[in-house]
Chains A and B, each alone.
Chain A
């Protein structure tokens, strides 16, 4: 079992290497794109089963002594994140195939390399390797975001590149400082270092700043809405579900292992997260395309996820972990549903769309479920997630955080209803029907985008994820107990550390 751990990183890279060889057969390529995340998904399920009691699976590559070997480790937290990420990649790949984006010969290898990077970042137990894995995930994303040579895309790609290169530079600088202070970058050896001395805390906080930038927490969020909406819908879903979340995953890991949940860090995290929730939600209200609303919402929800880190108790972290998994699923569902509309109608401007729910009841239902789940309406997973976050805030007597969380979920409902009312509900927009009349010449039936139904393969991924969020809402107890085990592993990281250092 543990021998397989490095392969979650190696397998997608291997797949990416094989991909160009299968270029002759489109079917073989598609099979490759789906088989790799599916294999990792199966592995992640068995990993969750293995770590469900809070055990830690570790692998010191090639059997070197702990501290010298390249370490990989998976506890309940990383197994759960790995599981959801593999599921997202699988469904986004299915969507990529449905939109036909995968016919570009570079897309399949790039998506595979990117997934290899994020999988690797989740299971690595070495700070420097964490940096390398993030780079492995980011470099394909640079290409994916700048790939088609439209002007808007190139400009967005440039901002994306600059910000992320700068972030990676800060991260690398932080790793160097951590090594300089502690003489190691293995997470097990670094346990509690951040709360031991001020200079080590400084080195660690440089890493935290870089991760906050990757995770788009306020005030380092400005780049996200300027870049994510300008790539293809499936890619936006992938970026939002994987790349920003890997930053947040890193925050969790560093705060819990390196800082041991130090009080000073908690305060900063709380303030940052409350600001992130509010600013992201207000940003979403002002947008006019589906995806830019959703991207601002990603910022806002990142605040919700990490606010539990600011409480740093078992309830707080369990809520945060549950929220992280919920948000990855729901946001991907929304992006894929919105992407299906956008691919079909050629626009994401909400005032140019209308009445989609009537023509596409299934898609409408999937979007509505995910939207309500995002806003935290029962019986969907968003309710469980929000409820546990607010409850944890009350337990920790962080009443401001609890109040803001409730208030912002109302704003969340508001901006999701904005999309729903404009694009899915109501009548078809006027300029579209005019076009039908003028080009149709009265009696002649003309097939326009609004009369043809959206192809089923485009709708299915969004629906599957909407079903997942419903089942996680109804059967929330199951995931919540797993999240609690994971939270125990983060609050008291001694099992993780012992497994890594062999002491």
Chain B
């Protein structure tokens, strides 16, 4: 349940920001959505198993599923790359919100 709430909250915040004018806000919105998806990925492995998933360190029945963690890691890298590119675009002048310019 906690995972569902976290994901829902993050997506709601992310979508709200994506719909705002200004590329910086949009970028932050995608960062939030990215976090939501990473939580979703980790939750997909089952929230009940929390032990270290190395052989010999914990009982296989308690060990966390390592595959979704690897997925999340990949997704984090992709989100990170895209975030950097979006910030680069905002810097290059694709930020079309006029009020944004005067604020900063």
Measured CB to CB, the residues of A under 8 A from B are 128, 132, 135, 139, 142-143, 146, 149, 154-155, 157-158, 161-162, 165-166, 168-169, 172-173, 175-177, 179-180
Contact = CB atoms under 8 A, between A and B. Distances in A.
Given A158-B96, A162-B18, A176-B68, A169 B78 contact: no
B9 interface: no
B29 to A, nearest CB: 9
Contact of A161 (B74, B75, B86): B86
A173 B62 CA distance: 25
Contact of B37 (A146, A157, A162, A172): A172
Contacts of A132: 74, 78
Given A139-B81, A165-B82, A158 B23 contact: yes
The 4 closest A-B pairs by CB, nearest first: A180-B44, A154-B94, A176-B40, A179-B44
A157 B71 CA distance: 28
A152 B41 CA distance: 37
Contact of A169 (B34, B71, B85, B93): B34
Contact of A179 (B37, B68, B81): B68
Contacts of A158: 23, 89, 94, 96
A281 B2 CA distance: 47
Given A142-B85, A158-B23, A173-B37, A149 B44 contact: no
B74 to A, nearest CB: 6
A445 B69 CA distance: 71
A139 B85 contact: yes
A319 B56 CA distance: 54
Interface in B70-98: 71, 74-75, 78, 81-82, 85-86, 89, 92-94, 96
B93 A177 contact: no
Contact of A146 (B34, B40, B68, B89): B89
Contacts of A143: 85
A149 B92 contact: yes
Contacts of A142: 82, 85
B24 interface: no
A162 B33 CA distance: 12
Contacts of A139: 78, 81-82, 85
Contacts of B89: 146, 154, 157-158, 161
Given A161-B86, A169-B30, A179-B68, 5 more contacts: A128-B71, A149-B93, A158-B96, A169-B37, A176-B40
B64 interface: no
Nearest to A181: B44
Contacts of B74: 128, 132
Interface in B30-53: 30, 33-34, 37, 40-41, 43-45
Contacts of B94: 146, 154-155, 157-158
Contacts of B71: 128, 175-176, 179
Contacts of A155: 94, 96
Nearest to A155: B96
Nearest to B43: A180
A173 B96 contact: no
Contact of B44 (A157, A162, A166, A177): A177
Contacts of A157: 89, 94
A350 to B, nearest CB: 29
Given A139-B81, A146-B94, A176 B23 contact: no
Contacts of B23: 158
A166 to B, nearest CB: 7
Interface in B2-27: 18, 23, 26
Contact of A166 (B18, B85, B86, B93): B18
B34 to A, nearest CB: 7
Given A166-B18, A177-B44, A179-B44, A172 B75 contact: yes
A154 B85 contact: no
A75 B83 CA distance: 36
19 contacts: A157-B89, A157-B94, A161-B86, A161-B89, A162-B26, A165-B30, A166-B33, A168-B78, A172-B37, A172-B75, A173-B37, A173-B40, A176-B43, A176-B68, A176-B71, A177-B40, A179-B68, A179-B71, A180-B44
B33 to A, nearest CB: 5
Contacts of B18: 162, 166
Nearest to A158: B94
Contacts of A135: 78
Contacts of A176: 37, 40-41, 43-44, 68, 71
